[in-house]
Amino acid sequence: MGALPVLEFDGLVISQSMTIARFIAKKVGLSGGNTPEDEAKADMIVDLVVDYYDSLKKVYFAGDDEEVKKVKAKAVFDTDVPKFLDNAEKLLREAGGRFFVGDALSWADIGMYNALEPLVDPASPTFVKRMPWFEHETRLRFLDSRPLLKALISRVEEMPAIKAYLEQRRPSEQEPF
Ligand SMILES: N[C@@H](CCC(=O)N[C@@H](CS)C(=O)NCC(=O)O)C(=O)O
């Protein structure tokens, strides 16, 4: 396949992280609904998150020079990140405020949770390991003016199966790339 991650499932072997995640979402009934329209809404949110990760990668893989990283981080967190968060907050509001598609959890909510959790988790390796100068207080402020996203984080992580997974998650599973 050439790159990780790879999923093997009943003889099927597939790569590409979003293809894998979409396949699993469909298998377990989290693809966003039963219509192409609802699935497209969920896909749109996931692609929004992918765009955010593309921005984050500019900092994450910027090398070992902390000063260079700080300059790149400032650019990303002053422009790309607020734009991403405002867009996500608006789309969540338009969807009714609780979940991104309908009134049930989908892979869109889980994808968004994955992207946002590092902002609220004091020990998040995304920041503690890769951007140690980015203080927790500063991270938290990104959600102050986005109450629906902030509430979504709690809503997702309080779901029993997700809560159980998070309690036994390995540190390496907390890194986005
Ligand atoms: N678009 C791919 C990117 C995969 C990717 O960059 N994988 C990295 C590890 S996280 C890799 O395997 N790099 C080694 C290589 O490409 O040879 C995806 O989302 O799965």
Q: How far is CA 160 from the centre of its chain?
A: 19
61 lines ligand 1 (CB under 6 A): no
Query: What pTM did the predictor assign?
Result: 0.94
Give the tens place of pLDDT for each residue, 72-114: 999 999 999 999 999 999 999 999 999 999 999 999 999 999 9
Q: What is the pLDDT of residue 108?
A: 98
Atom in ligand 1 nearest the alpha carbon of residue 5:
20
Q: What is the pLDDT of residue 118?
A: 96
Q: What is the pLDDT of residue 176?
A: 86
Q: How remote is the CA of residue 4 from the centroid of ligand 1, in Å?
A: 5
DSSP, residue by residue, the chain: --SS-EEEETTEEEE-HHHHHHHHHHHTT-SS-SSHHHHHHHHHHHHHHHHHHHHHHHHHTS-S-HHHHHHHHHHIIIIIHHHHHHHHHHHHHHTTSS-SSTTS--HHHHHHHHHHHHHH-TT-HHHHTT-TTS-HHHHHHHHHT-HHHHHHHHHHHTSHHHHHHHHH--GGGGS--
13 lines ligand 1 (CB under 6 A): no
Mean pLDDT of 3-30: 96
Confidence of residue 29 (pLDDT cuts 50, 70, 90): very high
Domain boundaries, the chain: 1-29, 31-174
Q: What is the pLDDT of residue 34?
A: 85
Q: What is the pLDDT of residue 33?
A: 87
177 lines ligand 1 (CB under 6 A): yes
Which of 1, 4, 15, when mutated, tests ligand 1's pocket best, judged by the most ligand atoms within 8 Å of its CB?
Answer: 4
Q: What is the pLDDT of residue 154?
A: 97
Q: How remote is the CA of residue 6 from the centroid of ligand 1, in Å?
A: 10
The CATH T-level fold of domain 31-174 is: Glutathione S-transferase Yfyf (Class Pi); Chain A, domain 2 (1.20.1050)
Q: What is the pLDDT of residue 25?
A: 98
Confidence of residue 172 (pLDDT cuts 50, 70, 90): confident
Burial of 64 (C-beta count, 10 Å sphere; 0-12/13-18/19+): exposed
Give the tens place of pLDDT for each residue, 49-66: 999 999 999 999 999 999
Over the range 39-51, which residues count as b (16 or more CB within 10 Å of their CB) and which as e?
Answer: bebbbebbebbee
AA identity, residue 64: D
Which of 14, 15, 17, when mutated, tests ligand 1's pocket best, judged by the most ligand atoms within 8 Å of its CB?
Answer: 17
Atom in ligand 1 nearest the alpha carbon of residue 15:
20
Give the tens place of pLDDT for each residue, 104-160: 999 999 999 999 999 999 999 999 999 999 999 999 999 999 999 999 999 999 999
16 lines ligand 1 (CB under 6 A): yes
Q: How remote is the CA of residue 3 from the centroid of ligand 1, in Å?
A: 4
What are the C-alpha distances in Å from 143 to residues 54, 84, 102, 150, 152?
20, 12, 23, 6, 11
Residue 159 · residue 106 · CB < 8 Å: no
